[in-house]
Every structure is written in C-alpha cells, then in structure tokens.
A and B are shown apart, each in its own frame.
Chain A
Amino acid sequence: MSEDPEIVMGLYVPPHPHPLLAPDQNEGWGRLRDAFDVCRQRIEESDADLILIYSTTWPSIVGHQIQAHPKPVFTHVDDDFHFLGSMPYEFSMDTEYANEFKDACEARGLQSRTVAYDGFPIDTGSVVALKLLNPDNRIPACIVSSNVYSNRAEQIVLGKAARDAMSKLGRKAVVVVVASLSNRMFTEYIDPSEDRIHSPKDDEWNRKILEFFSDGRLEDISQLSREIQGQVRVSKVVAYKPAWWMASTMGQHNNYDGEVLAYEALHGAGGAVIQLTPSVGSIGDKEFDEDDVEYYHGDRDVLGQGAI
C-alpha cells in the first residue's frame, strides 16, 4: 500500500439546498449556512490543494463515477425544492486527481470511470457544498458518486483508492461527505419557521451520532453504520454508506478532533455541519471485527455456492 496521504480535515455537510438558497427563511437554515461559511474560511486558511466530495445525491450504477470535467458549467435545479430557485455553477475540477483516482479504483478491483461531459447533471448536494465551501474555486475539486448497489466492502476499498491517489500525487485534501443524518423529510409542505426534526427518535439518534463525531470517533460510527441505517435512514439505498467511505478515506481510526458546527432540521431531515481534524489519541469502545478489505473481488456468489 502507498504512504499515508495528508488529510487536512474532513467535513460532513447536508445535501439540501436550503442553506444555499434560503438561509433567511429559517433560523436553523441560517445557522447551517453560517457553519458552511466557517468551514469555507478554514479551508481558505489551510494549505489544502484538493477538495474531494462523496455525494449521496449522486447515485451511480456502472461502478463508481468520478467527475473529471475541468470546468463543468450549468444551472442546476433541485427536483423537490425547485421553487427555492436555481443554482448556476462553474466549478474547477482536478482532472489529474480524477484520473488517478479512477486508476487506483481499478487497481483495487473496483469498476470505475471518469465522466467529463458538458451539461452533465452535477447533483444538488455537490453543487451546494462546492458553492458554499469553495465559492471562488480557489481549490480544485473532485466528486465521486455513490453506487446504488455497493455495500461495505466496496465503500471501504473506494476510500482506500481515494487515499492511494492522494498519496501518489501528494495532494493535501479536504474530504467532504455530503449526506443527511436522519433522512426522513416531511411529505407535506411546511411553513419554514416550523421546521423541526421529523421525529423524537430521529432527533435522539442524530444527537448520539453527533456525540460520536464530537469525540472524533469516526471509525466507531463506521462500525455502527448498519445500525444507523436501520434506525434513522429511509431505505432509499441498501446501506448508510457515507460513514464507511469517510472513515476509510480518512484512515480508519478515531484520532480526530471533532466539532459539530451546526445541527438543524431541513424539512424534517437531520442536517449537520461537522468538522473532523486529524489529531492524536484514540478513544472508543467498539470491536472492529469486520474484515478490513484491501481489494474488491466482487460478490461472493453465496447463492451459487449452495446450488444443487
């Protein structure tokens, strides 16, 4: 394996467009926006030279897709919240990193490809994150999709491939995951001033997850991923993947200073802006008994093994 790359910080941010388009309509949305702004400033003050985004609102099917267009330009509109406004964007992408990331994925057995097409629909979560965290395109970015069929092994290996590429190119990266905590929204329109977490259960779980983040226990969150999926995640996909990917990409440990900059409701879903800064000293009480996968070998063909 390659040498450890330099991860400047990890950020966990929500995918909804409200902090970008409507921060004044709800105090909580405004606080999320403020937290994004703090992160933007910290990124500017760092010596990072890559922002790598894993977005749960960019699904893929044919392996793992990586945005490689050097300057994608378009105007994005959210499927649900189109009435909040349009999101014109022009981003600067790190094409060299994207290609290296793709090669690293393939070297570890993953199906992967870059995409570089004019008009490609960059997803809401990535657009919101890049417009708020990197508004002037000071730092080149890269975005990787979330494969709808992938599970833990693929996500772990995908994170390691991201690290391989960082190490090879010597990038100093800000790792960004775009995802909700609890992701159940209200199914009716609400007055923005009345937004709240959908249920006390969602809120309670969110606060427990935030407690782990505050303690820097990212690997422990990764270990709890399946439980979190079952408790507070609408079953849009098979698993709560961002925790696996983020933990893997950031080194699979609990050695971080964690800071929850904001936690608010976004039409009922749990939205948090969290910063993890690599540190020393690990805490936690979880048994890490699942395989630490280095290479992806595909499905295990369990059905075929038992066939008569």
Chain B
Amino acid sequence: MAKGEIVLGCLAPHPPHVVYAENPEQNEPFAEGGWEALRWGYHRLARKLKTIDYDCIVTLTPHWQTYVGTHFLGLERFQNISVDPIFPNLFRFHHDIEVDVELSEMMCEAAAEAGIVTKMMRNPDFRVDYGTIVSCHMMNPDWDKPVVTISSNRSTHYYSNEVMNDQATALGEAVLKAIEESGKKVVLVASHSLSHRHFVTEAPLPEDMSREHIYNHSQYVWDMKAIDMMRKGEMRELIDILPEMIEQTMAEAEGGGLTWMMAAMGMPDYPAEIYGYQSVIGTGNAIAAWDPNETTREIVL
C-alpha cells in the first residue's frame, strides 16, 4: 500500500452567512446574496478541489468544543438538521454526512499513542457542528466525499495560547502519521476565521453589505499581517506569533485549527494560495490553501 498523504490544506472559515447567501436547497432561510468576496473565493477553491484526487476531508472545528480530550466522529452517517445557536435566522441546514470512520479511528489511535487524551464519539444522536458543515459545504457542495471531524480541545481556556500551540502541534503530527499509514489522500481543513470580534447587533437584512466591515482597524492590521506571512510561506513564524495574535484579536485560531493543520503539513515554507478576505459581522475571514504539489500550486490573488 502506498503511503498516504495530505494533498491540500485549507483555511476555511465557517460563518453561516456564506451558506445562507448561497441559498442551497438544504438550508431553510432565503437570502438575497451577500459576502461575495468570500463566496467567490470558495467557488474558486471548490473548482480546484474538483481537480485533485482525494479520499476524505478532515476538519478541525472550534464549534465542537471539548474540555476532556480531543474527540473524533465515530459513526458512518449523520443525518439531521443543524440550527446555528448564534444565527438561527440564517442557518437551518438539513445534512446527510458520511464519515470515514476507519481513518477517524486511526487518527484517534495515533493521537492516543502520542499521549493525547482522546475519545471516539459514537452516540448516534450527536449533532455535527455547523463549523464542519459550513466549511465542507462551501468547499464541496456536492458532499460526495466522506469527512472526519476532530473536536477543538479548549486548552487555550484551561491553560494558555502557548499550550494550545504545543498540543495542537502534537495532534497535527499524530494525524499525519495516521494519514500516512492509512494510504489515503486527505484534504485538511482548519475551519475558522482570523480576527474574531463580532458586532453584537445585526442589520434588519443580514445580507445588507452596506453594514459590513471589520470590527476595528487593529483587527484588520493583524489579519493583513497573517495573510502576508501566509503569502511569503512563513508559517513557522506565523504559528510562533499566533498566541500574540489570539490575545490581541480574539482570533478563532485559539481553537487549534491552523496550528494543527500546519504541524501536520510540516510548517510549509512555500506560499499559500489566497482565495479571499472579507469581514462577516465584524470578524476577519480569509480563505487560503497550501498545495504541497509545486506543479499545481497557484497564485490566486
């Protein structure tokens, strides 16, 4: 069996607004559009994904928050309705998700061998979080590939951003080991935004783009700094300063997604593909991808 590999890593933010604005048949509310800079970026990334041979999408999501260890989805299928607890007016999504349980178990086992507290989630009534659903839907609206969801251990809350970085790094290295042993080709997804301060009010028409802007300039400057480092392939350096960025901007990377993905990919020193940046209810959202294949790597924006 050939060694498995990571064929793409994606920073894929999950504001439910982008699914809402797409009006897919699975989502109940209707929108007049909105957040095009993000959605068009996602469309471009989804087209690239169609050209890549892969078996599974593995997502680490900050909306499955666990304090006791790191958890992995452990059942083959989840059919349900996902209603966003924060924006239920925008996101009531009927989903039918297939899970690669074999790969999920291998990742869980590899993480446990690395000393990480782990748990397989096998309750059939469990509701898959909307972070997973939004990121996966925008990247693969056909839902024709199985997924694995990994929970976000809240080590930032219990310890510090630095401890989060260390633990997410260990998890990323363990996940890489499992992927290589599986023989599968995997797309990794860090499902989160960059700066993450929200407005606490919402426009009467949520997709009214005249109301949309970043929460403050400080958040914007940090976001641009992060994106610039991604462009330059300075991921080791970005992960090193991530604790400071989280502290300053409430960055959603606090959940470990970016650190985990970069660790699994060996801290890329090649340029990321940037697909878009836009604020959603004040938060800073960038879509970026790391393509290990030099021949298919692009300058998108």
Contact = CB atoms under 8 A, between A and B. Distances in A.
Interface in B70-84: 71, 80-83
Nearest to A269: B67
A281 interface: no
Interface stretch (B52-60, B198-206, B257-265): B198-206
A147 interface: yes
Contacts of B198: 61-62, 149
B233 interface: no
Contact of A59 (B85, B92, B126, B127): B85
B88 interface: yes
Interface stretch (B4-12, B115-123, B235-243): B115-123
Interface stretch (A183-191, A201-209, A242-250): A183-191
B104 to A, nearest CB: 14
Contact of B69 (A59, A61, A147, A187): A187
A85 B125 CA distance: 9
Contact of A234 (B92, B122, B157): B157
A56 to B, nearest CB: 14
A59 B68 contact: no
Chain A, interface size category, equals 35 or more
Contacts of B71: 79-80, 82
A77 interface: yes
A306 interface: no
Given A83-B119, A236-B157, A267-B68, A77 B125 contact: yes
Given A62-B200, A267-B68, A77 B126 contact: yes
B86 interface: yes
Given A79-B66, A82-B123, A189-B68, A117 B88 contact: yes
B68 A111 contact: no
Contacts of B122: 82-83
B64 interface: yes
B92 A119 contact: yes
Contacts of A199: none
B154 interface: yes
Given A85-B123, A119-B81, A60 B154 contact: no
Contacts of B201: 62-63, 111
Interface string A161-178: 000000000000000000
Interface string B40-67: 0000000000000000000000001111
**Which 4 A-B residue pairings sit nearest by Cβ, starting from the closest?**
A86-B125, A82-B123, A119-B81, A77-B126
Interface of A: 58-63, 75-77, 79-83, 85-86, 88, 111, 115, 117-121, 123, 147, 149, 184-189, 234-236, 267
Given A83-B122, A236-B157, 5 more contacts: A119-B81, A119-B82, A184-B158, A187-B117, A189-B117
